């Protein structure tokens, strides 16, 4: 399968999972946390699907299209494992993490902190969606929508 | 429509158009020219669909994933409107251009040279596919595959 085809399937999985969360899963009252703003496309999608919900976006540097720029107060730049620490305990309803490098070997080395951080940001019962697999005793895998291949995108609920 | 949804539709249109070209349209013998390598995903797709065909990729700077890196001899870096000039007359069978900035107003200002360059690179009867509309008396619009919205992706044949 070409990388273009694989990317289309990944983005489609991302959209379908976010849509399932927003439409079918009762979310708590906390904010949404977007780890990895990137171009801002999923930020834009979440903003459209969850009107009025605070979305706090993190990235190393800002690369967002101006059409998807969060307000200054909700855009946190710098190394995410450091900049997110002050937000521990914020009781997020949903954390969406899309911070893979495109290299599985590098991600395995560099994202060891991600699962623990997500647990610390989520409210009890909160939802995590991630482009890389997470591993933590408080994160319980949930089924993804039909048609999404195993290992394409990942969904969890915190204890 | 969210920017994520719009992007999925754009990539799907891109894939479907490239697949239609590779499967259904008899291509001449010349090389394929990729204007805007980016991450290298469409380069990878074309390489898979057109095995053995030379693909010459241009970009301002190299941002390609190492899985989609062209050989040095087929990767031309720098301002495309300048670096492509020595290739004028190469009689390309196909030119694929994906160099929009994500800002329509900027693209309209900055890509005035694109249509003429593509004509100069293509063999007579050659095919151009582009993420931005092209305009040149020698480029004749072709129908795109069913399901692709008007103005999502563009296909032409050179006189």
Q: How far apart are the CA of B90 and the nearest CA of chain A, in angstroms?
A: 27
pLDDT at A57: 98
Length of chain A as a residue count: 159
**Share above pLDDT 70 across residues of chain B, in percent, rounded to a whole number:** 100
**Contact between chains at B65 and A41 (C-beta distance less than 8 A):** no
- The helix/strand/coil state of B85 is helix
* CB nearest A8 (choices: B3, B11, B102): B11
Q: Which is nearest to A90 in space by CA: A115, A55, A114, A137? A: A55
Give the C-alpha separation, A120 to A115, whole Å.
9
What pLDDT does A101 receive? 78
Question: Alpha-carbon distance A121 to A97, whole Å?
Answer: 12
- Complex ipTM value: 0.94
What is the interface size between A and B, counted as CB pairs within 8 Å? 66
Residue B81's CB: how many other CB atoms inside 10 A?
A: 16
Which element (helix H / strand E) includes A106?
helix A104-110
pLDDT digits (tens, 9 = 90+) for A5-64: 999 999 999 999 999 999 999 999 999 999 999 999 999 999 999 999 999 999 999 999
Task: Decide if B4 and A44 are in contact by the 8 Å CB cutoff.
Answer: yes
pLDDT reading at A96 higher than 90: yes
SS3 A32: strand
pLDDT in tens, chain B (159 residues): 999 999 999 999 999 999 999 999 999 999 999 999 999 999 999 999 999 999 999 999 999 999 999 999 999 999 999 999 999 999 999 999 999 778 888 887 778 899 999 999 999 999 999 999 999 999 999 999 998 988 899 999 999
| pTM recorded for the entire structure | 0.93
Q: What pLDDT digit, counting tens, does each position of A106-134 carry? A: 887 778 899 999 999 999 999 999 999 99
A133-153: buried (b, 16+ CB within 10 Å) or exposed (e) per residue? Answer: ebebeebeebebeeebeeebb
Give B80-121 pLDDT, tens digit per residue: 999 999 999 999 999 999 997 788 888 877 788 999 999 999
CA of A118 to nearest chain B CA: how many angstroms apart? 23
| Residue A100 neighbours by CB under 8 Å, 6+ apart | A107, A111, A131, A132
Residue of A15, A39, A49 with shortest CB distance to B8: A15
For residue A67, which residues of chain B lie inside 8 Å, CB to CB?
A: 3
């Amino acid at each position: 399968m070409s990388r273009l085809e694989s990317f289309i399937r990944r983005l489609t999985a991302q959209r379908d999972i976010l849509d399932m969360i927003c439409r079918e899963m009762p979310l708590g009252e906390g904010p949404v946390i977007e780890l990895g703003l990137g171009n801002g496309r999923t930020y834009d999608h979440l903003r459209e699907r969850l009107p009025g919900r605070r979305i706090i976006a993190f990235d190393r540097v800002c690369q967002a299209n101006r059409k998807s720029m969060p307000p200054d107060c909700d855009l946190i730049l710098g190394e995410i494992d450091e900049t997110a620490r002050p937000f521990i305990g914020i009781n997020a309803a949903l954390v969406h993490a899309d911070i893979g490098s495109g290299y599985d070997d590098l991600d395995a080395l560099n994202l060891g902190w991600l699962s623990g951080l997500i647990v610390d940001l989520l409210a009890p019962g909160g939802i995590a969606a991630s482009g890389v697999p997470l591993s933590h005793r408080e994160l319980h895998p949930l089924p993804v929508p039909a048609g999404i291949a195993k290992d394409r995108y990942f969904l969890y609920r915190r204890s």
